[in-house]
Structure 1
């Protein structure tokens, strides 16, 4: 297992200081996490990055790839309603680019489960990540911004049929599938038969679709075989039904989406460009853009330099539970696969973990070894 170089104590103190001043409760989380749950939440694409081991009872588990899900599970188990948590500890992932080596690395960060203004919370968390990253001494940092929900608001403005709009939003985090949609390859495959179960599940959020499928199996006394989990099967059935029902994008609609995805500029200019591209049903898009302008004002007020920010409409993250605002702090000295810090909003995650009543959820992490000028990991 490849280990990061250690930091001088003074450098680590400086990097963690913004988080310690943010009013968070120090906490930790188990190193072993349930593999099936992580894949259900983050998506099958993450399997190759997870370090799989055997759990205490022989079930499949993985070493925590980061702290978000682990901290969220502990927060819900505590049944405290709201909470803000600071963590510092090791995370583990298989190295990218086809390597089978595992990486062990230090993360520090904050996860916040709080009611209140989500735009203000986004600005605070991003500013904390920026301050902690800059405390490592680098002067070549950029804050890359994105938003899963902004893409959804833009798609809604185009006035697509609900099934087609839902299918397009689901493809956002999967570049290959999105390219197929934009190239006219979506819709029903030749000879594909309609499925009543798929059509039923297509009208539900994936978490509810998975629960319905499990209930059907229970009523019928059926046990799934082959290692496929309910969430994965429900996901495939929903995709199939939406492909049958939704049809395809027109050439003009596809061009509009491509133009949206091509937007990458200083945030103010990017928001203006997105506004100009919006369709006629734009109430939701205008509200999202107004929220973004407040978010940017909040970040600059907290010390993030405006000339170091870039808003990229196509930017997304591999972990599939992020459903809103996203960001990464990047260094010019490190390639884009090695961000110094990252984070975002994941309001839907607590419900997917079983929470009956939830608040907003947003968090961030910093890799101190990357933030430190003497690092380079």
Structure 2
């Protein structure tokens, strides 16, 4: 396993300093995390990037690819409620094919489970990530912002049929699926698949997965190819919904394309998005007002807005993010190697089986070896 280069202690101290001042409690999290949980949250496409090992009891586990899920699981296992945590430790990912990037690397970060104003918390967390990244000495930084929920509010403004709107929102973080939606190339189930899909479509995804496993067991079928029951059930349900919901018409598709093309200084980007709104624009207006307050919060916290871009199509590979997103980038390292990244994941607790919580969830991580001006990872 290749290690990233080390950085001087004084540089690490400077990068760490904003986190120490954030009022967070130091914590750690187990290196081994349940593979099934990670794949359910991040998507099957992440499997190739995970170090898979045998965990306790012979169940498959993975070395933690980052800390967010690990810290969240630990927080809710300890009772949940409000909490703010600071971590520092190694994360592990398989390098992309043909890459010589680090497979074991140091992450520092903060995860906050707090009630209160989520917009203010978003601004604070991104400002902390910016301050920590800037402390590494690079002079070519930029901040890229996005928002899964802003896309959802825009889709709602178009007043689409509910199943079509839901399917379109789910496709946001899946470029190939989103392209198929915009191109009208959405397949529908036929024959036996159609009947199974119709059966599963009326069930929650966990129950749909259980039904599919039972059908396999009764039929003596052993699935191959690495696809999990939850993923297959999800796909069948999507295809059943596709048959019922229809497709975007050309005008609707053009509006969605125009939304996704917005990438500008934040105020200009918000103006462009507002101009694209459909007739049912109440939620979108509220989302844009929240964004203007968020930008004001960033400015108050000394984030230079002339270095900030709001990109409507910006998303992250980790599927548990469901709101505000950001990355701190260096021109020298490029878009594929962000120094810091984070966002809001209010829906993660329910995906972890937590029935109710009165807190939101937002956090970020920094890669010190990338933030350090003398580093190259």
The runs of 5 or more residues in structure 2 that have no matched partner are none
Partner of 2:124: 124
Counterpart check, 1:214 vs 2:213:
no
String of CA shifts for 1:153-202, please: whole Å, max 9, x gaps.
1111111101111111111111111111111112536x456746634654
Query: Following TM superposition, by how much is the alpha carbon of 1:254 offset from its aligned partner in structure 2, in angstroms?
Result: 0.5
SS at match of 2:103: strand
The 10-residue stretch of structure 1 (25-34 or 224-233) with the greater mean CA deviation from structure 2:
224-233
String of CA shifts for 1:27-64, please: whole Å, max 9, x gaps.
00111111111011100111111111222322211111
SS at match of 1:2: coil
Cα distance in 2 between the residues matched to 1:202 and 1:274:
33
Contact 1:108 1:367 in 2 (8 A): yes
Cα distance in 1 between the residues matched to 2:138 and 2:183:
41
Give 1:9-158 correspondences, 5 Å limit.
Answer: 9-99=9-99, 103-158=103-158
Partner of 2:361: 361
Partner of 2:304: 305
Cα distance in 1 between the residues matched to 2:160 and 2:209:
28
Query: Following TM superposition, by how much is the alpha carbon of 1:98 offset from its aligned partner in structure 2, in angstroms?
Result: 4.6
String of CA shifts for 1:287-337, please: whole Å, max 9, x gaps.
110111011111111110010100000000000110000000000010211
CA gap of 1:150–1:317, structure 2 versus 1, over 3 A, is same
Count residues with an aligned counterpart: 373
RMSD, matched Cα:
2.1
Query: Following TM superposition, by how much is the alpha carbon of 1:117 offset from its aligned partner in structure 2, in angstroms?
Result: 0.9
Contact 1:144 1:310 in 2 (8 A): yes
Partner of 1:266: 265
The 10-residue stretch of structure 1 (100-109 or 129-138) with the greater mean CA deviation from structure 2:
100-109
Contact 1:51 1:102 in 2 (8 A): no
Contact 2:263 2:310 in 1 (8 A): yes
Cα distance in 1 between the residues matched to 2:191 and 2:221:
23
Query: Following TM superposition, by how much is the alpha carbon of 1:348 offset from its aligned partner in structure 2, in angstroms?
Result: 0.6
CA gap of 1:152–1:224, structure 2 versus 1, over 3 A, is farther
The runs of 5 or more residues in structure 1 that have no matched partner are none
Query: Following TM superposition, by how much is the alpha carbon of 1:241 offset from its aligned partner in structure 2, in angstroms?
Result: 1.4
Partner of 2:7: 7
CA gap of 1:220–1:340, structure 2 versus 1, over 3 A, is closer
SS at match of 1:338: coil
Give 1:176-187 correspondences, 5 Å limit.
Answer: 176-187=176-187
SS at match of 1:57: helix
CA gap of 1:100–1:330, structure 2 versus 1, over 3 A, is closer
The 10-residue stretch of structure 1 (95-104 or 257-266) with the greater mean CA deviation from structure 2:
95-104
SS at match of 2:315: coil
Cα distance in 2 between the residues matched to 1:37 and 1:353:
8
CA gap of 1:321–1:203, structure 2 versus 1, over 3 A, is farther
Cα distance in 1 between the residues matched to 2:211 and 2:32:
28
Alignment TM-score, normalising by the size of structure 1: 0.93
Partner of 2:343: 344
String of CA shifts for 1:108-135, please: whole Å, max 9, x gaps.
0000111111111110100000000000
String of CA shifts for 1:236-287, please: whole Å, max 9, x gaps.
1221111111111100011000000000000000000000011010001111
Query: Following TM superposition, by how much is the alpha carbon of 1:209 offset from its aligned partner in structure 2, in angstroms?
Result: 1.9
Contact 1:266 1:307 in 2 (8 A): yes
CA gap of 1:174–1:32, structure 2 versus 1, over 3 A, is same
Partner of 1:174: 174
After TM superposition, where is structure 1 displaced by more than 3 Å over at least 4 residues in a row? 97-102, 191-204, 215-225, 227-230
Cα distance in 2 between the residues matched to 1:17 and 1:31:
24
CA gap of 1:210–1:225, structure 2 versus 1, over 3 A, is farther
Cα distance in 2 between the residues matched to 1:296 and 1:224:
53
